[in-house]
Amino acid sequence: MLLSDLKTPAFAVDLAKLERNTARMAATAQRLGVRLRPHVKTHKTVQGALRQLRGGRSGITVSTLAEARAMHAAGFTDITYAVPIAPQKLAEAIALQRAGAEPILLTDDAGAAAALERAAFDAGVRLAVMLKVDCGYHRAGVDPASDAAVALARRLADAPNLELRGILTHAGHAYGARNADEARAIAREERDVMVGFAARLRREGIACPEVSIGSTPTCARLEELDGLAGVSEIRPGNYVFYDRFQADIGSCVLDDCAASVVTRVIGSYPERGQVAIDAGALALSKDAGATHVHAEPTYGYVVGHPELRIEALPQEHGLVRLPAGHRGLAVGTLLRVIPNHSCLAAALFSAYHVVEGERVVDEWRPVRGW
């Protein structure tokens, strides 16, 4: 089957680019002397995870317990669930552990810590936990400058049914960077905050074996820092596919983007300067992309057509602005769109078509749900 035979909209994964992206990040981690515990949240497939780990099944990061179960069923055991655990999900996490996985759970909250202690005690298990730290993103995590952060770490370390593995952060504020220089400064901050906080815990007599950092924009800059001493692992995820946002802030170039939404022109209206495509919000997501970098928002980059701008996304239509004087595109014309945010676009498809050049060579089925 060829790309042009696909029913649209479809989600295409360019295997050569994905292999290149995953090999590069693995090599970066190796050069820096840190473990790569890749995040699988972007693709949510066993095939993608295996490529991230060069065919191995060492530690991975997931964003849902559904991902954790699917990865465990495929032979992965060392699985960090990198979202603060809701007490109501503890039974599921314990079931996963009883089934043979070694989930590592996350918290930044004393109430959740109490629930973790109680659930582990009641179940007669020992749960591995990481303390989530806020290194500047302000989405989740303890303030590493606070005394409460040390007190919570001590509580987790002292709980007989818990094992404090260390500290974990995600510098999501790197997505607000406008260029590589700004992303590099955030990467440095992420490293320094975490290494400094780990040192503070150790001075307080609290063991902190693991120091876990990582986002795609900061991992793209790590080799430009003066080393990663004190960091034990990195957890990038988006780099498997990349997307237009990452290209806009300098994490990659557009040619690295491995995922695209394949779509067809379904209406041509040159008199009003528009064409319609069959990829709407339910194929591309409504992520507006790096609006802090671009004055003119577009819901994705139309490959080979920098002159086209996707300006509106009703549910099943995309409305594409044509430059002045454009004659329109024939209905049926096939286009490929690099989404602004590949994690969100991928999540809208129940299958990915894996392509080598124009040939569709495989189909991957991602995990869905929570």
Ligand X SMILES: Cc1ncc(COP(=O)(O)O)c(C=O)c1O
Q: Where on the chain is the footprint of ligand X (CB under 6 A)? A: 39, 61, 82, 170, 214-216, 235-238
CB of 278 to ligand X, least distance (A): 28
Nearest to 61 by CA among 85, 42, 79, 83: 79
Residue 113 near residue 106 (C-beta atoms within 8 A):
no
CB of 358 to ligand X, least distance (A): 29
3-state secondary structure string across 118-158: HHHHHHCCCEEEEEEECCCCCCCCECCCCHHHHHHHHHHHH
Nearer to ligand X, 10 or 219 (CB): 219
Distances (CA, A) of 314 to 300, 332, 334, 346, 360: 14, 19, 19, 18, 28
Pairing label, strands 309-312, 233-234: unpaired
Give dist(CA 70, CA 75) in Å, integer.
9
Residue 141: left (phi > 0), alpha (psi -120 to 50), or beta? left
CB of 27 to ligand X, least distance (A): 17
CB of 268 to ligand X, least distance (A): 36
Nearer to ligand X, 130 or 329 (CB): 130
CB of 170 to ligand X, least distance (A): 4
- Quick one: the chain helix, strand, coil %, rounded to 5? 35, 25, 40
For residue 55 the two structure tokens come to 């065919």
Q: 């491995």: which residue's tokens?
A: 258
Phi (first) and psi of residue 360, to 5 degrees: -85, 120
Nearer to ligand X, 45 or 61 (CB): 61
Pairing label, strands 35-36, 233-234: parallel
Nearer to ligand X, 11 or 245 (CB): 245
Pairing label, strands 233-234, 210-213: parallel
Nearer to ligand X, 184 or 235 (CB): 235
CB of 343 to ligand X, least distance (A): 7
Nearer to ligand X, 220 or 360 (CB): 220
Nearer to ligand X, 10 or 13 (CB): 13
CB of 370 to ligand X, least distance (A): 15
